[in-house]
Structure formats: C-alpha cells, structure tokens
C-alpha cells in the first residue's frame, strides 16, 4: 500500500456543508509535504456523520484530485457488515486504491465474528483491505491470532494498530506473513511500531505537520533511529494536545489555526474548549508551525 506517513485527513465543513474547495486545498498541502497516502473518511474525517451522497462527493474529489500521485484509501468500516460492504463497493467504483475497515463498534463482535465480518468485506471487493484496531474507541480488540487468520485472505494486506500494546504488535509481527503491513494508529507510537517491524503511520498529526511525520519515518527506515526518536519526542507534546479532547476536535482546531478550514464539526462533536485551544496554539507557536 505505502511506506511512511499517511494522513487521516479531516473533512472540512462550512455552514454545515462539506467544503470541497477547502478539501482540495488540504490535499494539496499534503501532496506538497510528501505525505505518502491519503486516508479519507476515517474517524478523523468524521465519517459517522457523513451520508452516502456526501461520501460519493468526497471520495470522487479525493480520487480525481490526487490523480494517482499517492494511494487514496477510504474508511468504509461501520458496525454493520452489509453497510461496510456497500461503502467498500462504492469506494471501489469511484476509483479508490484501498479501504480501511475499523472493527464493528458497539456490537462488540467475538473473534469468530470479526473473522467472518472482515472476510465477507474482503470478498466483496478487489481492493486491498487494511484492518483497523482501535479498542479505545470500539471496545473490541483484534487478537493477534485473529489478525494472522485474516492475513490468509488474499486482499487483507495490512493493519492499522492503535491498541498501544507493543507486546501485542510484536506478536502480530511474529504470526503474520513477511509482506503483511503494520501501520501505527497512534501518533506517539510511530518509532516504537517501526521498531516492531511496522511500515509507517496513519496519522492525525500529519494534518498539521505532514513533512515532519514523513521525515520521522524516513529517518528510521534509513537507519537514523536516534534522529527519528528525536523527532518523535519533539512532537510528543503536540500529539498529546491533539488528543486533549476526543479526536478530531483538537486537530480541526489546529488545522483551522493554520488557516485552511473553518473550525466546524458536526454534532455530537463540538468545538474545542477555550483553555485547550490556548494550550494548542501555544505549542504550535513554540514549534513554529504558526
């Protein structure tokens, strides 16, 4: 799929509507700053508040605007297998390069259920499928043995891991084929996951510092592990502040501070608290981002 930093891009709204021109500007910013993949309509993209027609517009815009310069990967996972298949087929028809499928939230499927869920989605498409494990949001963890079983499906090619447990990630690495890819789903775990054999990160912070997160990955992959760690530590406080409230509240505030978008979210998400915005802006100024 890709190696390095892929951005889990925000979805800009203006007066309640998807702002396509601002979305294109965000994509241009990512391309200019060497981001290796565009991940659209994930959690950071507020996918759960986007309807089917809006998805069509957003996916079509991303695919056409990127024009094959980097992979465009669409978040198609929801807590219904049938709806996930519907969204996956839509992404394929619109020219996406792959899909990212989160574990079914709220339903809390068993490991057997996860295997069937993901297999049915993968069998519905020719696109590469990336599993997404984020138990802190879904209350479901994909066990390493389950990942290994799913890796036997031809087009299930990778996992975005946001469990935060390096022992689990090492066990996944031990069990899966050599060409199965592992991406960090936590911005403060990029270097640790690369050290566990990962291929990069699907990043929230890359909305704000795309060049720096790609540089971090490149340094590590080129053997400059000390410098990569220094970058991880340099941006640690910023990453913490980007999650001081539930994602994507802080990152939308940060991208707004950069001047790209309105600081507008869809309910039930609301704008960042004033005191947290002050802390975020202070750190962005300290790092000379703004």
**Domains of the chain by range and CATH?**
4-221 (3.20.20.70)
SS3 100: strand
The helix-helix angle for 81-93 and 52-66 (nearest 10°) equals 40
Residue of 22, 87, 118, 160 marked active site: 160
Tokens 């079509």 sit on residue: 60
Going residue by residue through the chain (290 aa), what tens digit of pLDDT does each one get? 899 999 999 999 999 999 999 999 999 999 999 999 999 999 999 999 999 999 999 999 999 999 999 999 999 999 999 999 999 999 999 999 999 999 999 998 999 999 999 999 999 999 999 999 999 999 999 999 999 999 999 999 999 999 999 999 999 999 999 999 999 999 999 999 999 999 999 999 999 999 999 999 999 999 999 999 999 999 999 999 999 999 999 999 999 999 999 999 999 999 999 999 999 999 999 999 99
Predicted pLDDT at 193? 97
Active site residue 160: yes
Predicted pLDDT at 286? 98
**Does 202 show up as a binding residue in the annotation?**
yes
- In whole angstroms, what is the distance from residue 206 CA to residue 239 CA? 10
- In whole angstroms, what is the distance from residue 172 CA to residue 57 CA? 36
**Does 44 show up as a binding residue in the annotation?**
yes
- In whole angstroms, what is the distance from residue 52 CA to residue 176 CA? 34
Predicted pLDDT at 1? 84
Predicted pLDDT at 85? 98
Per this entry, what is the length of the chain? Answer: 290
Question: Which of 167, 165, 202, 211 has the alpha carbon at shortest distance from 182?
Answer: 202
Predicted pLDDT at 41? 98
- In whole angstroms, what is the distance from residue 231 CA to residue 115 CA? 37
**Buried b / exposed e across 233-257, counting CB within 10 Å, b at 16+?**
eebeebbebbbbbebbbbbbbbbbb
Residue of 22, 87, 118, 132 marked active site: 132
Active site residue 132: yes
Predicted pLDDT at 198? 97
């Amino acid at each position: 799929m890709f190696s390095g930093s892929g951005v889990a891009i925000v979805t800009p709204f203006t007066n309640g509507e998807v702002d396509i021109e601002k979305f294109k500007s965000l994509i241009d910013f990512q391309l200019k700053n060497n981001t290796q993949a565009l991940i659209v309509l994930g959690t950071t993209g507020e996918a759960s508040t986007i309807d089917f027609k809006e998805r069509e517009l957003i996916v079509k815009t991303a695919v056409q605007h990127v024009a094959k310069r980097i992979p465009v990967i669409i978040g198609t996972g929801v807590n219904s297998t049938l709806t996930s298949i519907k969204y996956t087929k839509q992404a394929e028809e619109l020219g996406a390069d792959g899909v990212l499928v989160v574990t079914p939230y709220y339903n809390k499927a068993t490991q057997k259920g996860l295997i069937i869920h993901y297999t049915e989605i993968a069998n519905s498409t020719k696109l590469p499928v990336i599993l997404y494990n984020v138990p802190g949001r879904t209350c479901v963890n994909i066990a390493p043995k389950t990942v290994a079983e799913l890796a036997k499906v031809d087009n299930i090619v990778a996992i975005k891991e946001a469990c935060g447990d390096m022992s689990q990630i090492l066990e996944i690495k031990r069990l899966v084929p050599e060409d199965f890819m592992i991406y960090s789903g936590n911005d403060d775990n990029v270097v640790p996951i690369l050290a566990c054999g990962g291929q990069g990160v699907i990043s929230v912070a890359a909305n704000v510092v795309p060049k720096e997160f790609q540089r971090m990955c490149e340094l590590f992959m080129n053997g400059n592990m000390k410098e990569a760690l220094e970058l991880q530590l340099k941006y640690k406080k910023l990453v913490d502040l980007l999650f001081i409230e539930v994602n994507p509240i802080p990152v939308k505030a940060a991208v707004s501070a950069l001047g790209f978008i309105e600081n507008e979210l869809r309910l039930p998400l609301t704008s960042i608290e004033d005191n947290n915005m002050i802390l975020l802006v202070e750190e962005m100024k300290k790092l000379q981002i703004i």
